[in-house]
Amino acid sequence: MTDPNIGRLLADRYQLMELVGRGAMGRVYRARHVLLDAPVAVKFLSQTLLNQKMRDRFKREARACFSLGQKSQHIVQVLDYGVSEDEVPFYVMEYLEGRDLSAIIKREQMPLPRFLNLAHQICLGLQAAHQGIAVDDRMCPIIHRDIKPSNLLVTQDPEKGEVVKILDFGIAKLLQEDQGQTSHFMGTLAYSSPEQMEGKELDNRSDIYSLGIVMYEMLTGKMPLYAETHSFGSWYKAHREQVPRLPSELNPNLKIPKALELLVLQCLGKKPGDRPQSVGDILRSLEPMEHRYRPGRAISRRIETTLSRAELATGTDGGDGDELDEGATGAAVEGAAARFVDPDTLCRLQSWPKNKPVAEIVFPQLVPTSHSPLATVWVMLPQRTIRSLQVSTHPTSVSCRTMGALSPHPMMLWLTVLYVVQDDSGERRPKWLPCYLDLKQERSVALARILSDRGRYRVLFFALEEPQNCAHVAKITLSSAQCEAIRGWIERSAEVPATQASLSKNQLKQELERLKPQIMLTLESQNGGVAVD
């Protein structure tokens, strides 16, 4: 049966496009904000719950989610609230594309750096909720009560990499606040704390128990507890009596720090007092592990190794004249010999930044030298993708294109396109590496100016499997038309007032999607290595 809501215009601005979720409490639609031409998600209260008490709770849920979304980027953001013409409450959320954590756990083994990155983000979102929101001039903690992999969405950000969003805040807690339902169990059997199964009053430590189950799954791909049947009684017995095995006992090949195993098992303590007492305690326990297992070594050590193995060039880079300055790139570089490192060797000596996740991301970077900074793009990819690029003889393996938007906010899209084998099929496919430069920010303007003046940049490739060292460097030359266009955008941007940068960024994203087929035709037909504007 066709959904009558599809195509409906809600509140004169939200056009419902597709039903993407349905549950006992309501329905969620993918929609389009027709005024901004932007995707959103719209959640309706279920038709079976249209009494005043549930309307009030639904409104409180929307308010709570709005406040939490303002506090943390790791909680889904609520953008609007309203009541439809047929008197059904709804609220509007950001539309998120990604995979929930359960799909990732089922299909992929999770390396330790990735686990630490995702677990850290989940903790930040939970911490913001547990710290509370202001309600009637007092802080009211929010307990999620249903932390599980399917409520943790992993999205991809071009600059930040994987970003975790916690979904479905509010309803379970608001329902349990009702005096007539405090003895009723609400949650997911496999992820509920013992006290939650018993219908007791909950605090933040119940979420910590659920988080412990999620972290155990992330590390092992298996549940820490098993019930004989999927019944309340079987799961109640499992949560109350079973003792989880150490993750390393399930798989001796797992390389898990002992401190991390103990932390996860502590989260699974049967009594709230046996667990970490706050998410902040978990974050503090994870911090030394993040520092230890985060990729990156001092550049000075790699310079010593490189100098001992290779004869270094002295500025033979096609007239660049770039040299490494002492103290360049934020690392301690010792010795006068380092000043004779040529630009490509300098790029190969770079470390993946400690503040960046080990994930498939791309970002622009200025690499300082004694002459002038190098314009570079840093990207992390699977090792096989990088190897495909290294052995490719195709003239358009790496290409560049630039686009600019001066209204409503000056913004430039600096696009690198790879044309490489990305999977086991052997077929060459495009890999899009967009970087967005806000031309009202001094650093971005400096980078754009260097790009236009020098007419070239380098792409630094880092492998997901071995992220410490730069695996490959590609040098790309811009056309004179591209350089001239960038200079024009810089000059005209000074006359344009700053507004909302996100609007221009979204505009450029949409333009890129529209132009992708045309760009690919250009890449296929050209003889050189650069796509000309």
3-state SS string for 373-438: CEEEEEEEECHHHHHHHHHCCCCCCEEEEEEEECCCCCEEEEEEEEEEECCCCCCEEEEEEEEEEE
Q: Quickly count: other Cβ atoms within 10 Å of residue 323's Cβ.
A: 19
**What pLDDT is attached to residue 322?**
33
Whether residues 225 and 110 share a domain: the answer is: yes
Which pair of structure tokens corresponds to residue 303? 């310079």
List CB contacts of 75: < 8 A, sequence separation 6 or more: 65, 68, 69, 125, 128, 129, 165, 166, 169
Task: Count how many Cα atoms sit within 13 Å of the Cα of residue 405 in the half-sphere of its side chain.
Answer: 23
Whether residues 225 and 282 share a domain: the answer is: yes
**What pLDDT is attached to residue 397?**
58
Question: Strand 374-381 vs strand 456-463: parallel, antiparallel, or unpaired?
Answer: parallel
3-state SS class at 72: coil
Of the residues 66, 94, 122, which one is the last residue of a structural domain? 94
Whether residues 186 and 285 share a domain: the answer is: yes
Whether residues 76 and 173 share a domain: the answer is: no
Total residue count of the chain as it appears in this document: 533
C-alpha distances out from residue 42 to 88, 323, 450, Å: 12, 54, 44
Of the residues 94, 127, 152, which one is the last residue of a structural domain? 94
**Residues in the chain with pLDDT < 50?**
171-172, 174-182, 296-340, 395-396, 527-533
Q: Is residue 3 part of a domain?
A: no
Beta-ladder partners of 139: 134
Beta-ladder partners of 29: 19, 42
Check which CATH number belongs to the domain holding 111 and give it: 1.10.510.10
Catalytic residue numbers read 146
Q: H/E element holding 128?
A: helix 112-131
**What pLDDT is attached to residue 62?**
85
Cα distance between residue 224 and residue 242, in whole Å: 9
Which pair of structure tokens corresponds to residue 318? 């096609």
List CB contacts of 62: < 8 A, sequence separation 6 or more: 78, 81, 89, 91, 170
Which pair of structure tokens corresponds to residue 402? 């630039």
Question: Strand 38-45 vs strand 98-100: parallel, antiparallel, or unpaired?
Answer: unpaired
Whether residues 205 and 304 share a domain: the answer is: no
3-state SS class at 166: strand
**What pLDDT is attached to residue 533?**
29
**What pLDDT is attached to residue 241?**
93
Q: Is residue 172 part of a domain?
A: yes
Of the residues 94, 118, 146, which one is the last residue of a structural domain? 94
Domains in the chain, number: 3
Residue type, 154: V
Q: Is residue 2 part of a domain?
A: no
Q: Is the pTM of this model over 0.75?
A: no
Cα distance between residue 380 and residue 319, in whole Å: 29
Which pair of structure tokens corresponds to residue 515? 């132009």
Q: Is residue 442 part of a domain?
A: yes
Residue type, 7: G
Check which CATH number belongs to the domain holding 74 and give it: 3.30.200.20
Query: Is the omega angle on the peptide bond into residue 408 within 30 degrees of 0, that is, cis?
Result: yes
**What pLDDT is attached to residue 527?**
36
**What pLDDT is attached to residue 331?**
34
**What pLDDT is attached to residue 117?**
92
Domain encompassing residue 158: 98-293
